[in-house]
Amino acid sequence: MKLLVTGGAGYIGSHTVKHLVEHGHEVVVLDNFSRGHRWAARWGSVEEVDLLDLESLTAALRRHQVDAVMHFAAFALVGESVRNPELYYRNNFVGSLNLLQAMVANQVSRLVFSSTCAVYGNPHSQKLAEDHPKNPVNPYGHSKLMVEQMIDDFRHAHGLQACCLRYFNAAGCDPGLETGEVHDPETHLIPCIFNSLVSGKPLQLYGTDYATPDGTCVRDYVHVLDLASAHRLALEKLGQCQTVYNLGTGRGFSVREVIAAVEKVTGRRVMVQESARRPGDPPSLVAAGGRAQHDLGWTPAWTDLEATVASAWRWHCQYFCQA
């Protein structure tokens, strides 16, 4: 299949592009490189296009005549979305609207959308199933939920075959060290801990008084390679599967437990500075992922936190030592 992957030069996008090519798909990476990396767009052809440029986007789809689209391109920093909501609604929502319009104009009717567990907000149960009430607590989550609703409307109006994958905390890196996680600024916990180790500066621990076993936030860390395989499986079953799936391991780890895993993997002590809570952070987000396993045949291969941390540490050492 020939696929257009928006945000294919980003962290999750580039891992998925590599995975798709390895499984025989032809890929066109579409990215504006505002937050993606040119070195990560190393598989398939590349279109440097901004989703807010509807004319160029429509022309790119017309040029390549793709069979389907995987849509990763989005801003995804919770704190930034709270400070600058207009940026998120413009980039995430309007950009996605343009993409859907361009798809309709070019008769492309298959879409896999990169969504997020942030659509749920503060959970009402220990594990989140797909039918859990949606009540985002930050503009990032709101923007993603709005796109999901828009996709549903396009499904009914234009016959779109689409699947929304709500994944939990992406972690880990390509064991082959061909792509990995590099953000500026970095907000993901595991690379932030690595940065603390390398710089000697204390890790900021945001919130120690949550209603969790050790007072710190609990998250479900799913390896980026497992996310990549889920996107491929969803693509291959479009039209036969349901429209929304949670992607997680089903097990949550607190911030302190992740710190302990990093210390074990690296053999180094992490200095911690306790800080106030950040706005928009729910206390716990853990997936109930049975639907994806049943419908898509998706089972996470990376279920050991230390193995996930180790894959990320190897990439971190290679990339930042060479930089």
**According to the model, what pLDDT value does residue 218 have?**
95
Task: Report all structural domains of the chain as residue ranges with CATH numbers, in order of start.
Answer: 2-168+223-247 (3.40.50.720), 189-219+250-322 (3.90.25.10)
Looking at residue 283, its pLDDT comes to: 87
Q: Is 26 helix (H, G, I), strand (E, B) or coil?
A: strand
Under 8 Å between Cβ of 183 and 261: no
**Radius of gyration (C-alpha) of the chain in whole angstroms:** 19
Return the minimum-mean-pLDDT range out of 93-97, 165-169, 241-245.
241-245
Task: Note the pLDDT of residue 239.
Answer: 84
User: What pLDDT, on the 0 to 100 scale, is given for residue 321?
Assistant: 67
Asked whether residue 6 carries a pLDDT value surpassing 60, the answer given is: yes
The pLDDT assigned to 290 comes to 87
Half-sphere exposure of 264 (CA within 13 A, CB side): 12
Catalytic center residues: 140
- Number of Cβ within a 10 Å radius of residue 257: 17
Higher-confidence residue: 280 or 198? 198
Burial class (CB in 10 A: 0-12, 13-18, 19+), 30: buried
The fraction of the chain above a pLDDT of 70, given in percent, is: 99
Whether 58 and 259 have beta carbons less than 8 Å apart is answered as: no
**Does residue 272 surpass a pLDDT of 80?**
yes
Within 10 angstroms of residue 19's Cβ, the number of other Cβ atoms is: 21
pTM: 0.95
pLDDT given for residue 60 in this prediction: 98
